Amino acid sequence: MSDAGGKLSKVLVVEDEFLVRLTLVEALSDEGFQVLEAETGDAALPILQDFQEISLLLTDIQLPGTINGHALALKARENLPNLPIIFMTGGPDEETDGSGRDVFISKPYTLANICSTAKRLTATATAAE
């Protein structure tokens, strides 16, 4: 996925289960995204701080370490206030903030659903700039 300047949209995938993360990274890469990855919220935080041009955060809510998906989203929005976020959750659907920037996708999900949602959110974010 390219933004208006022709650069690939960058997606940060934060998922502690290796095979799930690998599958998400491959699917999003196949869709044209540049994908960065982290196993924990603690590992993702410096990536978010170093790469200001991240277009989308895709995170599991339940993560090992000191930073879960919700806390990671709050910290990400300190520097990137309009960052769209897809939360992957094994729990019941949660309420969004109404901005359209946050999407909760319940497990089990399909890769097609993740990819189409990622495309929609990055297109919307690019159009808003």
pLDDT class for 125, splitting at 50, 70, 90? low
Q: Output 73 or 93, whichever has higher pLDDT.
A: 73
CA distance 114 to 119: 9
pLDDT at 6 over 70: no
Mean per-residue pLDDT over the chain, rounded: 87
- Predicted TM-score (pTM) of the model is 0.88
Asked if 36 and 43 count as a contact pair (C-beta separation under 8 A), the reply is no
Structure tokens of 59? Answer: 């995170």
Place of tokens 């044209």: 32
Domains defined along the chain, listed by start = 10-128 (3.40.50.2300)
| pLDDT > 50? residue 31 | yes
For residue 4, name the pLDDT band (cuts at 50, 70, 90).
Answer: very low
Q: What is the pLDDT of residue 30?
A: 97
CA-to-CA dists, residue 76 to 8, 109, 112, angstroms: 20, 24, 25
Structure tokens at 11: 């997606």
